[in-house]
């Protein structure tokens, strides 16, 4: 049974149950309508970003019910969302990404009408790249609004720590990365801040695959799920390098949240972190300045590539007219110019609107965001723009889960063998497809 029919089977039960609406008593007397938004933006920096949306929606006269579910990468939020759907009580809006939007839409629970008018009035088709709009449309209709674009293949550096450890420049190759890691360790620092949660392990894994196998190899293995690429010598080499990268990881990082690990780089305890640019939200919240207090560089060997991760808010069918109005308000606000700017500055991302991406200076974005936008546009032309596997843009959650299991077991098993792990990847992905 494929992933779509698996989700559909579970959720078809939900159609027997009534579609939820907020109890009227939950509404403030003068509220135009109430909407619950399920998301996983709970770190300090992420919260600052989502609060921008909440404030605007409330200003517009609606009641925002915060459905935040802690847990980086969103795995817990997705579990909660599925059980809410099965119970016939989905929220009005939920953060869902990539191919999973199609999977959810095919269950019939997403609303294919709610965003029609706003998308037309706000000219979404001309504001968005087709690749992006296709992701958030189902059978030609918008079922979600894209919020922002994150780049995943970044390396975050504390330059002061580098200086103390005698490292002169940011590493651009894996060999330089290892040399920097050795110096950091020798000087008593944590070389690589890393929380050992599966999604974080796979964030590092995909960066290493991109570095070793290049854009074509990455695409074949992690996007096309080609068995030869998943099990071949280049994957074995990637896994060998991954094991070496893992020797620099924080020994206290097992099960640790990404933002607590980011804090170790910010506070000068660690030298580096491999993380998408939501990590920048923590630096911003700590009032640190890009290019001065910290450096963002592409993960060594990946500067000609951009693994993208687009956050989107999907709309669920609701009976209550006020909730439907609130959904439309959220959608309108999200793709508005001012929100695109303020949210991304807080979140560490770049706008999803193409007109803004080519004029980043105008909006006061910092050097990391300017680099991201420039690379996004260049890599879109060269083919270097690839969806992130670890962040659910390349595959469904089921296939992603197969990668997560093999990669995390491999990193944690002291006796693990890269050739065996590559074979396991092939088998696990095949059965999850």
> How many angstroms separate the Cα of 330 from the Cα of each of 9, 33, 34?
30, 12, 11
Site for ligand GAL contains 278 (CB under 6 A): yes
Residue 29 phi, psi (nearest 5): -50, -40
Q: How many residues bind ligand GAL (CB under 6 A)?
A: 11
End-to-end alpha carbon distance in the chain: 9
Could you say which of 33, 74, 301, 426 contacts ligand GAL (CB under 6 A)?
Answer: 74
In angstroms, rounded to a whole number, what is the distance separating the alpha carbons of residues 379 and 384?
4
The piece of 67-75, 210-218, 287-295, 409-417 that touches ligand GAL (CB under 6 A) is 67-75
Site for ligand GAL contains 311 (CB under 6 A): yes
* Ranges of H-type helices in 187-334: 198-218, 227-231, 233-246, 258-266, 279-285, 321-334
The piece of 39-47, 127-135, 159-167, 405-413 that touches ligand GAL (CB under 6 A) is 39-47
For residue 69, the minimal CB distance to ligand GAL (Å) is 11
For residue 278, the minimal CB distance to ligand GAL (Å) is 4
Query: Binding string, 183-202, against ligand GAL, x = CB under 6 A?
Result: --------------------
Residue in 142, 52, 129 with CA at minimum distance from that of residue 334? 52
State which residue, 74 or 426, has the beta carbon closest to ligand GAL: 74
Sign of CA dihedral 44, 274, 67, 65: positive
Residue in 387, 352, 151, 157 with CA at minimum distance from that of residue 360? 352
Could you say which of 46, 103, 375, 379 contacts ligand GAL (CB under 6 A)?
Answer: 46
Could you say which of 45, 67, 73, 271 contacts ligand GAL (CB under 6 A)?
Answer: 73
Residue in 73, 63, 9 with CA at minimum distance from that of residue 39? 73
Could you say which of 302, 309, 371, 400 contacts ligand GAL (CB under 6 A)?
Answer: 309
For residue 47, the minimal CB distance to ligand GAL (Å) is 11
- Length of the chain equals 433
Could you say which of 22, 41, 248, 316 contacts ligand GAL (CB under 6 A)?
Answer: 41
Query: Binding string, 88-117, against ligand GAL, x = CB under 6 A?
Result: ------------------------------
State which residue, 149 or 212, has the beta carbon closest to ligand GAL: 149
Residue at shortest CB range from ligand GAL: 72
State which residue, 21 or 331, has the beta carbon closest to ligand GAL: 331
Site for ligand GAL contains 205 (CB under 6 A): no
Question: How big is the chain by its Cα radius of gyration, in Å?
Answer: 21
Could you say which of 391, 402, 404, 406 contacts ligand GAL (CB under 6 A)?
Answer: 391
**For residue 433, what are its two tokens?**
């497809």
Site for ligand GAL contains 282 (CB under 6 A): no
DSSP string covering 257-297, please? -HHHHHHHHHTTSEEEEE--TTHHHHHHHTT--BTTTBEEE
Pair type for strands 154-157 and 295-298: antiparallel
DSSP string covering 75-118, please? HHHHHHHHHHHHTT---SEEE--THHHHHHHTTT-B-SSTTHHH
Site for ligand GAL contains 72 (CB under 6 A): yes
Q: Name beta bridge partners: 146.
A: 312
State which residue, 131 or 169, has the beta carbon closest to ligand GAL: 131
Site for ligand GAL contains 40 (CB under 6 A): yes
Site for ligand GAL contains 156 (CB under 6 A): no
For residue 90, the minimal CB distance to ligand GAL (Å) is 20
Is residue 261 within 8 Å of 195, Cβ to Cβ?
A: yes
Q: Helix crossing, 233-246 with 198-218: angle to 10°?
A: 140
The piece of 38-46, 109-117, 125-133, 411-419 that touches ligand GAL (CB under 6 A) is 38-46
* 397-74-289-285 Cα dihedral, nearest 10 degrees: 170
The piece of 69-77, 175-183, 216-224, 420-428 that touches ligand GAL (CB under 6 A) is 69-77
Site for ligand GAL contains 277 (CB under 6 A): no
Instruction: Classify residue 121 as exposed, middle or buried by CB count within 10 Å of its CB (0-12, 13-18, 19+).
Output: exposed
Binding footprint of ligand GAL on the chain (CB under 6 A):
40-41, 46, 72-74, 150, 278, 309, 311, 391
């Amino acid at each position: 049974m494929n992933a779509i029919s698996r989700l559909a089977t579970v959720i078809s039960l939900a159609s027997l149950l009534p579609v939820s609406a907020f109890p009227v008593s939950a509404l403030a007397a003068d509220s135009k309508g109430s909407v619950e938004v399920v998301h996983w933006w709970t770190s300090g920096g992420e919260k600052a970003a989502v609060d921008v949306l909440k404030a605007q929606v409330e200003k517009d006269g609606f009641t925002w019910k915060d459905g935040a579910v802690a847990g980086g990468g969103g795995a817990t939020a997705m579990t909660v969302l599925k059980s809410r759907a099965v119970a016939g009580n989905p929220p009005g809006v939920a953060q869902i990404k990539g191919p999973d939007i199609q999977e959810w839409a095919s269950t019939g629970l997403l609303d294919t009408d709610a965003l029609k008018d706003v998308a037309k009035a706000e000219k979404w088709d001309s504001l968005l790249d087709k690749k992006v709009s296709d992701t958030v449309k189902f059978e030609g209709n918008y079922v979600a609004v894209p919020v922002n674009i994150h780049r995943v293949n970044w390396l975050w550096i504390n330059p002061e720590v580098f200086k103390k450890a005698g490292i002169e420049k940011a590493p651009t190759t894996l060999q330089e990365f290892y040399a920097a890691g050795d110096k950091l360790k020798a000087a008593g620092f944590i070389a690589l801040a890393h929380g050992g949660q599966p999604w974080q392990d796979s964030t590092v894994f995909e960066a290493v695959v991109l570095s070793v196998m290049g854009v074509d190899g990455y695409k074949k293995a992690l996007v096309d799920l080609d068995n030869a690429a998943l099990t071949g010598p280049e994957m074995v080499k990637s896994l060998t390098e991954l094991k070496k990268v893992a020797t620099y990881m924080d020994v206290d990082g097992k099960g640790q949240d990404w933002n607590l690990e980011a804090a170790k780089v910010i506070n000068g305890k660690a030298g580096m972190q491999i993380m998408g640019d939501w990590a920048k939200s923590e630096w911003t919240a700590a009032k640190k300045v890009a290019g001065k207090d910290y450096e963002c560089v592409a993960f060594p060997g990946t500067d000609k590539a951009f693994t993208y991760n687009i956050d989107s808010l999907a709309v669920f069918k609701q009976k209550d007219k006020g909730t439907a109005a609130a959904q439309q308000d959220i959608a309108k606000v999200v793709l508005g110019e001012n929100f695109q700017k303020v949210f991304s500055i807080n979140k560490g991302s770049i706008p999803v609107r193409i007109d803004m991406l080519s004029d980043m200076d105008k909006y006061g974005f910092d050097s990391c965001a300017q680099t991201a936008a420039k690379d996004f546009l260049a890599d879109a032309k060269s083919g270097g723009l690839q969806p992130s596997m670890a962040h659910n843009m390349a595959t469904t959650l089921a296939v992603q889960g197969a990668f997560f299991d093999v990669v995390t077991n491999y990193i944690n098993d002291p006796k693990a063998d890269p050739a065996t792990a590559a074979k396991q990847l092939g088998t696990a992905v095949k059965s999850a497809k």
